[in-house]
Structure 1
Amino acid sequence: MDRYTKPAILLHWLTALLIIAAFTLGVIMTDIPGLTPTKLKYYSWHKWLGITVLAVAVIRVLWRKANRPPAPPASMPQWQVKAADATHALLYLLIFAVPVTGYLYTTAAGVPVVYLGLFQIPAAFDPNAEWKPVLKAIHYWLNMVMAGAVALHVGAALKHQFIDRDGVLRRMLP
């Protein structure tokens, strides 16, 4: 059985953990009323996670370009291969689009992004009160689409493991 490379497996699971952490923190921080020190700390952590997701995504795409993933099992129907390809393409698009829109929303809000408290990421443009709510909505809805795509991805992996028993999930397990 063909497996993904060890770096591909590491990058996959690291991306998954970072996205889950950023999404969870995003839900928690936005539910905190007012502007508290805890909320501000969570916003910083959320931004750090987003920047890290973006950096890992770049490495992941470069690795995937240089290392082809294993072929789907011969037993997999063509419609499932196409659905898996489309879902993977959507997930790759979202691991870039979600952090970028978060960064653009933050820029529009006029809030600096200081990665890990060490260095400031330059603003893409001057604060913009008109773009702020638009970018906030785009960032939110892209997160919701990502949550759905991740649920679909996990559901498909579990189907392959427990119903099809075709080894698809085992190829990505450490």
Structure 2
Amino acid sequence: MALRSDNTGFGSITKSLHWVMAALFISVFAVGWYMDFLPLGMAKLEWMSRHKSLGVTVLMLAVLRILWRLYEPTPAALGKHSIERLAAKLGHLGLYAVMIAMPLTGWIMSSAANFPVSVFGLFTLPNLVAPDQGLFETLRTAHFILSWAIVVLVLGHVAAALKHHFIDRDATLRRMLPASGDQDGDIPASNTAKENS
């Protein structure tokens, strides 16, 4: 499998980033909701630290993924209708936006609360703003709203991939699967027969 994507399929680096980001999204969301139900204490603080570390990892990988996407060609969307291709583009832009905005609001929120962000105990990020309780509350609300925006965007992304796979029967989902060599034109023979009949 090629490292880089081309006009007909995704490379192994893009696929790896995609699935690692997916796993991180689930982990950050799960840890975030779990820690919210814990009473204030050492256990909650430890889970908050894990949540922040994972969030910073998401931010770093999101920046890397955006730079990588700008560097290499991207296979064309396989939607049959222009509205589908537009929706796919807007959905991807939305996901990139929340991948950046979500951890940034968390980082600034921690700064406003005067709690520096330690990343897995390896290094500590600088505070981006001075302590400010009002700003902290505003950012906490924004962070919460963004968490649900991520849920909506990810569910939409998954639903679209499944629709392409099971209804349109094109290679949209297959070409993002690990170790898949499927290209845009790989359509099951049964579909080709239907189209020719």
**In structure 2, how many angstroms separate the alpha carbons of the residues matched to 1:24 and 1:169?**
25
Structure 1 equivalent of residue 192 of structure 2: none
Structure 2 equivalent of residue 94 of structure 1: 98
Residue 98 of structure 2 contacts residue 146 of structure 2 at CA under 8 Å; is this kept in 1? Answer: yes
SS at match of 1:130: helix
Percentage of matched positions with identical amino acids = 40
Structure 1 equivalent of residue 69 of structure 2: 64
Structure 2 equivalent of residue 23 of structure 1: 29
| Alignment equivalent of 1:32, drawn from 4, 24, 38 | 38
- Residue 4 in structure 1 maps to residue 10 in structure 2: yes
1:23-63 superposed Cα distances (whole Å, 9 cap, x missing partner): 11000000112x12221111000000000001101110111
Structure 1 equivalent of residue 112 of structure 2: 108
Give the drift of 1:91. 0.4
- Residue 85 in structure 1 maps to residue 77 in structure 2: no
Give the drift of 1:94. 0.5
Structure 2 equivalent of residue 43 of structure 1: 48
**In structure 1, how many angstroms separate the alpha carbons of the residues matched to 2:172 and 2:129?**
44
| Alignment equivalent of 2:146, drawn from 142, 153, 158 | 142
SS at match of 2:76: coil
| TM-score, scaled to structure 1 | 0.95
Structure 1 equivalent of residue 136 of structure 2: 132
**In structure 1, how many angstroms separate the alpha carbons of the residues matched to 2:80 and 2:31?**
37
1:48-95 superposed Cα distances (whole Å, 9 cap, x missing partner): 00000011011101110011211122x621100000000000000110
**In structure 1, how many angstroms separate the alpha carbons of the residues matched to 2:14 and 2:20?**
10
Residue 77 of structure 2 contacts residue 88 of structure 2 at CA under 8 Å; is this kept in 1? Answer: no
Q: Which runs of no fewer than 5 residues in structure 2 stay unpaired? A: 1-6, 179-197
Structure 1 equivalent of residue 4 of structure 2: none
**In structure 2, how many angstroms separate the alpha carbons of the residues matched to 1:8 and 1:105?**
31
**In structure 2, how many angstroms separate the alpha carbons of the residues matched to 1:152 and 1:96?**
19
Structure 1 equivalent of residue 122 of structure 2: 118
Moved over 2 A (4+): none
Q: Which moved more, 1:64-73 or 1:52-61?
A: 64-73
**In structure 2, how many angstroms separate the alpha carbons of the residues matched to 1:76 and 1:53?**
32
Give the drift of 1:126. 1.4
Give the drift of 1:2. 2.1
- Residue 168 in structure 1 maps to residue 168 in structure 2: no
Q: Which runs of no fewer than 5 residues in structure 1 stay unpaired? A: none
